[in-house]
């Protein structure tokens, strides 16, 4: 399987990209990164440009959170953190309500997004093609982090085990989602010898909340989802816990990775990092939303280590990325 960025974003979006071309001619180590980037230190993410003229210091910083649910919910949830970010950086900060993963990647690739939380499965594409530099994830107060992929159905569907999905449909979210597509695809193939089209009909809902609501309302007979999203929806009374039934639960995966675009000035990058790590959660809108999935701090991480399992899932699925 090959995820071509042009196909994900649309040819017109690629044509609109206004990117610096000076890095194209660079002769430097880059691994799987796009030819615009260098990775001299081998950490698998794009280095900050060495030429100060290629570093950016925008007056207004644009922030976007992965579109796992209705963006309007998260504009309010992130409001206290973004106020803190403004204080730490001395910049105006704007919340950008992206509608899908491809739009979020395109925004960073085209220079219109500076700080972001990309979902688990989108991190490799954002890193390799958009110059995303993740450095933190959310964790519980005791340092635990991550979520599990679940395959869910509704009570009375006739599905009691994964094998019961044979001959039926299974809702995925989007091709770039780990729990919404890539992990279940690898698990269904490797553990159950089940392939899309041959053994079940794949459908795509677009987002995790669409899949979860679709199962709860019996629009989808089964779906693969991130249980962290399900937990928050149950806490908000969007669905009842009894509306859905879990037939499979995976190992724990890293959750949303937060970071910056690669070419921000180093001083600004450091201020943004500090804003994440010195943010006081207690009594904030961020705590009110994310304590529903037992998260209460930002934990420092590296993409090379924490996303190793996700890159292995990509390899098992035969996934490669084309950034052109």
Task: Set out the domains of the chain in order of their start, with CATH numbers.
Answer: 2-143+255-322 (3.40.190.10), 147-253 (3.40.190.10)
Cβ atoms of 122 and 104 closer than 8 Å: yes
Mean pLDDT value across the chain = 90
- What number is the average pLDDT over the span 191-207? 96
Q: What is the pTM of this model?
A: 0.79
Cβ atoms of 148 and 127 closer than 8 Å: no
Q: How much is the pLDDT for 25?
A: 39
136 pLDDT above the threshold of 80: yes
- What number is the average pLDDT over the span 58-75? 87
Strand partners, 2: 320
Q: Which residue has the tokens 């660079």?
A: 26
Cβ atoms of 273 and 68 closer than 8 Å: no
DSSP letters for 56-93: B--SEEEEEE--SS-HHHHHHHTHHHHHHHHHHHSSEE
Q: How much is the pLDDT for 122?
A: 92
Q: How far apart are CA 15 and CA 25, in angstroms?
A: 20
Q: How far apart are CA 9 and CA 103, in angstroms?
A: 7
Among candidate residues 106, 219, 100, 116, the one with its CA nearest the CA of residue 170: 219
Confidence label for 27 from pLDDT (cuts 50, 70 and 90):
confident
Q: How much is the pLDDT for 324?
A: 67
The token pair that represents 226 in the structure block: 């991130």
The token pair that represents 320 in the structure block: 């490669």
- What number is the average pLDDT over the span 22-27? 50
224 SS3 class: strand
Q: How much is the pLDDT for 78?
A: 97
């Amino acid at each position: 399987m090959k995820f071509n960025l042009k196909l994900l974003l649309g040819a017109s979006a690629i044509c609109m990209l206004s990117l610096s071309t000076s890095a194209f001619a660079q002769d430097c180590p880059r691994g799987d990164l796009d030819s615009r980037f260098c990775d001299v230190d081998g950490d698998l993410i794009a280095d900050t440009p060495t030429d100060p003229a290629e570093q950016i210091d925008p007056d207004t910083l644009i922030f976007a959170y992965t579109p796992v649910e209705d963006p309007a919910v998260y504009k309010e949830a992130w409001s206290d953190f973004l106020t803190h970010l403004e204080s730490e950086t001395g910049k105006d900060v704007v919340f950008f309500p992206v509608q899908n993963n491809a739009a979020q990647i395109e925004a960073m690739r085209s220079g219109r997004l500076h700080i972001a939380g990309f979902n688990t499965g989108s991190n490799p594409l954002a890193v390799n093609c958009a110059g995303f530099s993740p450095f933190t994830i959310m964790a519980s107060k005791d340092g635990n982090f991550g979520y599990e992929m679940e395959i869910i159905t509704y009570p009375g569907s006739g599905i009691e085990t994964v094998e019961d999905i044979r001959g039926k449909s299974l809702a995925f979210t989007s091709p770039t989602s780990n729990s919404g597509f890539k992990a279940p695809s690898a698990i269904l193939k490797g553990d159950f010898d089940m392939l899309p089209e041959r053994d079940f009909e794949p459908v795509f809902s677009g987002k995790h909340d669409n899949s979860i609501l679709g199962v709860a309302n019996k629009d989808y007979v089964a779906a693969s989802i991130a249980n962290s999203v399900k937990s928050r929806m149950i806490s908000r009374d969007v669905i009842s816990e009894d509306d859905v039934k879990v037939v499979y639960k995976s190992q724990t995966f890293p959750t949303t990775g937060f970071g910056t675009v690669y070419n921000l000035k180093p001083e600004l990058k450091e201020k943004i990092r500090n804003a994440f790590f010195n943010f006081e959660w207690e009594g904030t809108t961020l705590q009110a939303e994310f304590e529903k999935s037992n998260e209460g701090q930002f934990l420092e991480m590296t993409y090379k280590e924490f996303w190793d399992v996700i890159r292995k899932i990509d390899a098992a699925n035969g996934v490669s990325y084309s950034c052109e």
